Structure 1
């Protein structure tokens, strides 16, 4: 066997074990007994220890050295690029630190869930402080004298720095704030009324998943406090949640996670259990979930079809016709929860988190002051106070599991989705006629062929530029939002 063949055979098993570790995380969020948490923390730590040892094995370094300067085809070169990135990163982080992080974040996740249920930030703060200390230690090792937060960003969006994001977000914030203010001066659309049976919600949720191309023979839908997608290749699972008085929470959480899942399911099968067999970055991943959820799922054409499906499932729910339903689905209103925020305000929620977590990592903000800082920033950005911790600093799971640098990829994904949507509309001019029938195949096929099938073959911004025909920037997203909401609210 050649050095490349030996490297790929070895990495195949590392990828498989990584999927097993991910399945442990899925189980913890869905069906694991609460009392199993201490044991699960040890299991996760043990698995991380095994993975860290494999990723830093001297043989990997030797194979990579043998391949340095070798003439490789594009797929092989991309595999080597990704394995090199993983090897260099893992080699900088001590094995005991990696295992400790896995153990502590597994424990912290359970403590976060308990604190969230009790609206008690003080109960969560000590373990969060422990997570942050460990993440700073990891970030310092990765940065090797550079910026710690940039080193964390590289885990989720290679090639992007905080300075890059500041420039992009700086263009988003004033435009979104201005649009939000204009909309909130207008009357709010009529919302749904009544109670919506959970079983019926989940039944329609499954129909929506399949309408967007989710392959249930290689996936499943479960319930979780915080919806997510897990896995890649032949086993890609999603979760959703229900609210008896807000069925949109279930339906659009499902569509959002289906966007993530379809990205994974549609990657070229030849990349299975290789470094290229997963989404290339969280920003690109988020572009798929957001374009499925918003530009397609909240379009006038598709909501017209969904209106009929909801009437069949629930009868009269207080909205008279398709146009009123379209306005209700896209209603802009005050709210605390990021995952429930409308398209106009969503990124403002993300920018709040981006700034706070950077301050935490820099040591400019202490854990004991985080809740007050969150509440002050929220009041400044949205104009009303946070009423309880579960609607504020405790609403997201991310910090409990150490995902610092993850939040900004949500807004980056929205920017990417704006670019992709502009190109999609140009490529499929009759798209709305199909969406009005509940047929998303033209849109999802375009996304599969132009982006999803590539997996990790190209770098994040490269794959967006190839698919959309332009370098990523906020202009298409802002133009789309202004046109859509000016129409709905007669601005």
Structure 2
């Protein structure tokens, strides 16, 4: 075997083991008995130790020095393996295992604290998670990642090439237009009617399955389960989704499902030739979020799709307190300040992300102590949204991300929205009859376009290059902001 073939065979086993670790995480969030949490933490730590040893094996360096790529895909695979090898070499094995163990246990502690609205129950664990991730960020920064900045080094793991300064600059350009649009909407005389009625659990789950099918989810390679915080898990030929059900609020289940289907369809849409290789997963979380957000918002909350969804829900649930498809469309897109990021409308959503970005950047940078996080959250939320946080589950305990150490992940949601805005503009130009299909509950033309333009490539290209190739122009926040202003000006008569 050549050095390239030996390296790729070794990498294939590493990727397979990583999928097993991911399946343990899925199990923990869906069906694992509560009493197994401590043991699962040990299991996760053990498998992370094995993975870290493989990812830092000196043989990888030898293979990289000798390997010659047979083609462009092989060259890109070598580039990604080298990047991962150099990053992993910065992190001591003991630290990698401890992060895996602590964040596994932390999930259960966070979930319990959230259910009890008890911040104090979670703070000691969060202190430990932040300390470990700060240590990891500093080790990566010392190794040359993130330009020497610990937060940027962590951010680079989710969005290669992005920097905190660059994200902050983009947010600074977006905020004035978002705030101005929000103020004009909230000053409008038009108000959306809320849904009313009872939306039974089993019927919501059935509808969720129908929606996943409408957006092209492959049930032969996936499944739907329930979780406290919806997520998708896995890649290749096993990509699973989760949702949650609130019997007074069906939109929670509906749009969580569509969002996670976007993630899963990306993974399932990658060229099978890349299976269990460095190219066999989404290239970045920003590109990943572009898929979930365009499915959820530009498609799932479009007037055309909402008309189909209204008829479907009327048939399942009966009267919902809205008279027709137009009223339902307004309800689906109602703009109002709210506590929960995952339930936020398109106008407020990015303001939620901007707040979390600033807070987590300060946590990793040592400018904000974990003990002061709740006060900082509540103060910032009141300033940004004009509403006082009423309980921790609506505040700093609402998101799972920090409990599992995902520092640097939050800004990729807005970057995903920005990419989705660009993709939506190009999609509409290429598929002019899209609304006719969406009005029939058929998102296949959009899914097919996204698979061809984005999903099939997996990690073959750098994140911004994937979007630019798909759209034919350099990605920026302009198309997203233009879309929001056009959509909500129409809805609210601005």
| TM-score normalised per structure 1 | 0.99
Match for 2:476 among 470, 473, 477? 473
Q: Could you say which residue in structure 2 is the equivalent of 1:126?
A: 124
1:458 has 2:461 as partner: yes
Q: CA deviation at 1:242?
A: 0.7
Q: Deviations over 1:406-465 (max 9, x none)?
A: 000000000000000000001111111111111111111000000000000000011011
Give the CA RMSD over aligned residues.
0.8
Partners of 1:335 and 1:135 lie apart in 2 by 30
The correspondence for 1:112, drawn from 100, 110, 113, is 110
Give the match's secondary structure for 1:239. Answer: strand
- 2:158–2:285 Cα contact (<8 Å) kept: yes
1:232 is paired with a residue whose SS is coil
Distance 2:327 2:53 in 1: 57
Structure 1 residue runs of 4 or more that deviate by more than 4 Å after TM superposition: none
Distance 2:69 2:288 in 1: 30
SS of residue in 2 equivalent to 1:235: coil
In structure 2, C-alpha distance between the alignment counterparts of 1:478 and 1:33, rounded to whole Å: 44
2:277 counterpart SS class: coil
Change (3 A) 1:433 1:215: same
Structure 1 residue 71 displacement after superposition:
5.6
Report if aligned partners of 1:188, 1:333 keep a CA contact under 8 Å in 2.
no
Corresponding residue for residue 169 of structure 2: 167
Q: Which residue of 1 aligns with 2:318?
A: 315
The answer to whether the 8 A contact 2:69-2:78 is kept is no
2:139 to 123, 138, 141: 141
Cα separation, 1, equivalents of 2:252 and 2:486 = 24
Tell me the distance in 1 between the aligned counterparts of 2:354 and 2:136.
Answer: 24
Determine the C-alpha separation between the residues in 2 that align with 1:164 and 1:64: 32
The equivalent position to 1:81 in structure 2, one of 76, 79, 82, is: 79
Q: How far apart are residue 72 of structure 1 and its match?
A: 4.2
Which residue is equivalent to 1:180?
182
Q: Which residue of 2 aligns with 1:226?
A: 229
Inter-partner Cα distance in structure 2 for 1:110 and 1:202: 24
Aligned counterparts, 1:39-54, within 5 A: 39-54=39-54
* Structure-1 separation of matches of 2:99 and 2:199: 41
**Residue in 1 aligned with 2:443?**
440
| Match of residue 158 from structure 2 | 156
- The within-5 A match list for 1:10-409 is 10-67=10-67, 70=68, 72-144=70-142, 146-186=148-188, 187-409=190-412
- Secondary structure of 1:180's match? helix
For the 8 Å contact 2:155–2:162, the answer to whether it is kept is: yes
Distance of aligned partners of 1:107 and 1:71 in 2 relative to their CA distance in 1, 3 Å threshold = closer
Q: Secondary structure at the match of 2:242?
A: strand
How far apart, in 2, do the equivalents of 1:485 and 1:379 lie? Answer: 24
Alignment check: 8 A CA contact 2:4 2:69 kept: no
Distance (whole Å) between structure 1 residues aligned to residue 139 and residue 211 of structure 2: 44
Contact 2:230 2:243 in 1 (8 A): yes
Question: Paired residues, what number?
Answer: 489
Contact kept? 1:291, 1:417, Cα under 8 Å: yes
In the TM superposition, what is the alpha-carbon distance from 1:378 to its structure 2 partner?
A: 0.1
Within 2, Cα distance between the matches of 1:472 and 1:377? 29
